[in-house]
Structure 1
Amino acid sequence: MSAKILALDTSTENCSVALMINDQMFTRSEVAPRDHTKKILPMVDEVLKEAGISLHDLDALAFGRGPGSFTGVRIGIGIAQGLSFGAELPMIGISTLAAMAQACYRVNQSGQVVTAIDARMSEIYWAQYIRQDDGGWSALLMSDSQGECVIPPQELVDNVLTSEGLWVQAGTGWAAYHETLSHLPLNMQSSDILYPEAQDIAVLAQLEWNKGNTVNAEQASPTYLRDKVTWKKLPGRE
């Protein structure tokens, strides 16, 4: 059964909203690194008006749960929770890395995707995905049994799982650490997919809806991957 799903994402420099109703997709997307809070709700209003429905007509609200910018992820989940509370909608969190893999499939039917978002502090958010028969994505596990991780590029080169076939690159990490990541022992091809998009989050959320994988607004949670932030103390501070 196809659900009416509103999806939004502010986890990276890109800000996007999508409304999926059966085979129709209403979308808004803009790279606006500092204007997420100004852009996202007007985008929501626009897609709802274009489709001729209200929040109360929806079945679920999906959001990009991260990883990505700490501030961006918090903005996205906070706005999504507010909309969900107001309309009493269940929520579905989708990995931003998996959403980029889905974008590669949408654009060029790629079934093997390596995703890398620049995580700053000389690290990347990383996952290596293979598309499954049901349309979902499975992340290959690293040596520490993690599918998605935050990792220094050189450490990734030393520990990545070598796999056959062509792997399509997605994300901002490839440009940020091009020299180091070019040494990965994989047959790779670049793509134009830099950021997660709400329309791909909506597609993956439909799969989760079909499985009954929803949560209440108060249970919705982000995925940061990085447990702590390394920072230098200012002079004179303890």
Structure 2
Amino acid sequence: MKILAIETATEACSAALLIDEAVSLRYQVQPRMHSQLILPMMDELLAEAGLSLAQLDAIAFGRGPGAFTGVRIAAGVAQGAAFAADLPVVPVSTLAALAQRAFRELGWRRLLPAYDARMQEVYWGAYGVDEQGLVVSQVADEVSAPDRVTLPEGDGWQGVGAGWSSYRSLLEQRLAGAVEAVNGELLCSAQDVALLGAAGFAAGRAVAPEQALPVYLRDKVALRPGESRQK
């Protein structure tokens, strides 16, 4: 299996090429440079492997939630490359990819990834790890105020992502002692988008390029004066 994955939803910009079980990665933390970095990263990986786009099985991308501009970049680049090479696309939740990285690098298995969604809200999800070492959603990705997140069952959870850096006290108060460890510095990586994308492709979850859409979780980017957000 040959999957090219891209991820631009956070401060990190990355691309990864998965060939069977081997993954090559390009990764840079360069905010506001994603549109300049991502295409050269993709080209470098393909050239290094001696492959063209048309020789791939699919393209995977971090579909969001995350920074609006970054999510749009990933979706647009994935669509354009897939159209050009007549390839299917596998959208991957960026919260799932963050959870996958935390499992891969830290060994954590009960994961609460969270991104800062601005406007005093967080993008949020809850994930466990299956027998194949892949994260599985336990609570659907959502956006809410930190003190209104959906409570997962049980305890022994680990919080990961910038949402924990921004709102740790509120989240820990809301979760009432269910969290045993927190890493607020870890960012999403295309390596984990590639791993989850390969699993999604094998499971038949690839879509046509025109169906590879970003997921924002928020319908409105800004509120008018005097409005309040309802949840």
State the shift of 1:194 in Å: 2.4
Paired residue for 2:26, among 25, 28, 32? 28
1:149 alignment partner in structure 2: 142
Verify the 8 A CA contact 1:26 1:50 in the aligned structure 2: no
C-alpha distance in 1 between matches for 2:222 and 2:35: 26
2:67 alignment partner in structure 1: 69
Paired residue for 1:114, among 112, 115, 126? 112
2:144 is the alignment partner of 1:173: no
Paired residue for 1:212, among 188, 195, 204? 204
1:236 alignment partner in structure 2: none
2:229 alignment partner in structure 1: none
Q: Which amino acid aligns with 1:220?
A: A
Change (3 A) 1:84 1:137: same
TM-score for both structures, normalised by structure 2? 0.91
State the shift of 1:193 in Å: 5.3
1:40 alignment partner in structure 2: 38
Q: Which amino acid aligns with 1:4?
A: K
State the shift of 1:29 in Å: 0.7
C-alpha distance in 2 between matches for 1:191 and 1:23: 27
Deviation sequence 1:36-83 (CA, Å, 0-9, x none): 110000111111122121111111000000001111111110011111
Q: Which amino acid aligns with 1:181?
A: L
Give the strand-richer structure, 1 or 2: 2
1:199 alignment partner in structure 2: 191
2:154 is the alignment partner of 1:163: yes
* Identical aligned residues as a percent: 44
Residue 118 of structure 2 aligns to a residue whose secondary structure is coil
Residue 183 of structure 2 aligns to a residue whose secondary structure is coil
State the shift of 1:188 in Å: 2.2
2:172 alignment partner in structure 1: 182
Verify the 8 A CA contact 1:90 1:216 in the aligned structure 2: yes
Residue 190 of structure 1 aligns to a residue whose secondary structure is strand
> How many residues matched?
223
C-alpha distance in 2 between matches for 1:126 and 1:194: 15
2:126 alignment partner in structure 1: 128
Q: Which amino acid aligns with 1:189?
A: A
Unmatched segments (≥5 aa) in structure 2: 226-231
Deviation sequence 1:123-175 (CA, Å, 0-9, x none): 0000011112344333223xxxxx1100101122xx523413x2222110011
